[in-house]
Amino acid sequence: MSSPMSRALCRSLKGRFYSAQAMRKPDASSSEITSARVNGVNVATADSLNPLSRVTFVVKGGSRYEDPSNFGVSHVIRHIAYLTNDKNSSFKTFKNLEALGANLNSITTRDYAMVSVSCTRNFMPEAFELIAPAMLRSSFSPWDWKDHQGCTPKVEFDVAALQQLPNVVLMEELHAAAYRQTLGNSLYCPPEFVGSHSPDQILAFMGAHYRPNRMAVVGTGVDNDELTQLVKGMKFQESSSQPNDKKAEYVGGERRVPRPDLDVTYAAVATEGPSLASKDLLSAAVLQQIMGLGPHIKYSDSVSGSRLATALKKATNSPFMVNGLNVNYTDSGLFGFTVAADPADMEKVLRTAFGEFASLTKTGVTDAEVTRGKYQLKTDIAMRMESGDAVVMNLAEQAVGSEKISSLNDVMNMVDSLQTSDIVNVAKKLVNGKPSMSSVGNLSNVPYLDQLLK
């Protein structure tokens, strides 16, 4: 059973209504989160005084559900939201959203695929009716597919842009080293698969995974009854395809990507971390704060409280970057650190960071470190939740992953309840796990994983 908490809180962790109706004045008393099953879909709303409505469709259809026959299909789906579907042409979708002043955003994570639309409250029903058919499509228009070249140019651009983001490549390679398929599948289409996905292949994937019991529709700044009526009108397609619900299997390993053209070398080391369903989730988030997430004062070089940065500052006078790593998924996670430094200093930097990480099992953490880490975590969560986009993503991930949704106050109280002994026990469990490693850049001075373990 999934924990009623999303990674958004731990990062740091249909009827028809018409626009002619007047924009209603939101009631401050309606700001509580409301959640219920409607038409097989979990519908959750957090109404507020905000005149901007945000509605997000979230599906258990991320890259982890791909298999060797369709690698990259979720990446292609990320770009097809506006293509002609069973109800609306691509021209109608694009032009009408533009006329409504609405913004459309489509993203995928390893766990989820999300399509969001934001607009003023009085236009939300019209925007919903434009986006919902894209999530329920059972066909593609042949001429539209050909006209847009199957979104191949957009996918090619993403893949090419990835090569300019070595820090993103680092995380892709770390996941590939840690897992076999599932969470090891890339968020990006492999170059050899670009342009290979047919409409039938995409529809088979969507038919298997875009089902009511795997979907949630969430809204902020939207009336719950109104959204409920809209969801009731959604018509799902029957499909014989079965979802690929294989559990993630952490195996550990190493991936190295030589890039001698880069002036900076990047490396990441991690063990299996807690999942979103784990009781250790928040303890690991506090431990990440203790390890360090960079300066808390902009442009400063203060490393006070950061175990990793303090150790590296003593070991080298050269510039470096180091951060604790804690990413969580529905059934697994990764916990460790990332470093970036001059290629000539990389061996010293990496060995020092690894040594400090390993020392957590011997030295543990102090009460003062835990108190500071809890304060920093609560601040990071509260600041993140000031963003409307972060609020709706948090609500979406919780709605699709659990029948219960935790409020911000619930999470803050859970953080407050953590004890030093909880953090110490989690540190020992995580650090003693089997490590994985990835590196990108000039690797001439990057030790292999087995050499770090000696």
Give the Å distances, CA to CA, from 403 to 35, 213, 295, 406: 8, 11, 37, 10
Residues 6+ apart with CB under 8 A from 2: 276, 277, 330, 401, 402
What is the set of domains in the chain, with CATH numbers?
Answer: 14-232 (3.30.830.10), 254-452 (3.30.830.10)
Residue 216 near residue 36 (C-beta atoms within 8 A):
no
Residues of 154-166 as b/e, b for ≥16 C-beta within 10 angstroms?
bbeebbeebeeeb
- Give the pLDDT confidence score for residue 345 in this predicted structure: 94
Could you list the pLDDT tens digit for every one of the 454 residues in the chain? 345 555 555 543 422 222 233 333 333 333 578 888 999 999 998 877 678 899 999 999 999 999 999 999 999 999 998 899 999 999 999 999 999 999 999 999 999 999 999 999 999 999 999 999 999 999 999 999 999 999 999 999 999 999 999 999 999 999 999 999 999 999 999 999 999 999 999 999 999 999 999 999 999 889 899 999 999 999 888 877 889 999 999 999 999 999 999 999 999 999 999 999 899 999 999 999 999 987 666 666 666 668 999 999 988 888 899 999 999 999 999 999 999 999 999 999 999 999 999 998 888 899 999 999 999 999 998 888 887 778 888 888 888 877 677 888 889 999 999 999 999 999 999 999 999 999 999 999 999 999 999 8
Prediction pTM value: 0.90
Q: Is 357 exposed, middle or buried (0-12, 13-18, 19+ CB in 10 A)?
A: buried
HSE toward the beta carbon, residue 179, CA cutoff 13 A: 23
Q: Report the C-alpha gap between 294 and 298 in whole angstroms.
A: 10
For the beta sheet containing 33-38, the strands, ordered from the edge strand earlier in sequence to the opposite edge, are 33-38, 41-46, 215-220, 52-59, 113-120, 103-108
Closest CA to 322 of 306, 335, 302: 306
- Give the pLDDT confidence score for residue 18 in this predicted structure: 24
- Give the pLDDT confidence score for residue 31 in this predicted structure: 53
Q: Report the C-alpha gap between 299 and 394 in whole angstroms.
A: 29
- Which residue bears the tokens 């939740």? 385
Q: Is 416 exposed, middle or buried (0-12, 13-18, 19+ CB in 10 A)?
A: exposed
Beta bridge partners of 174: none
Q: Are strands 265-272 and 215-220 parallel, antiparallel or unpaired?
A: unpaired
Closest CA to 407 of 391, 424, 426: 391
- Give the pLDDT confidence score for residue 174 in this predicted structure: 98
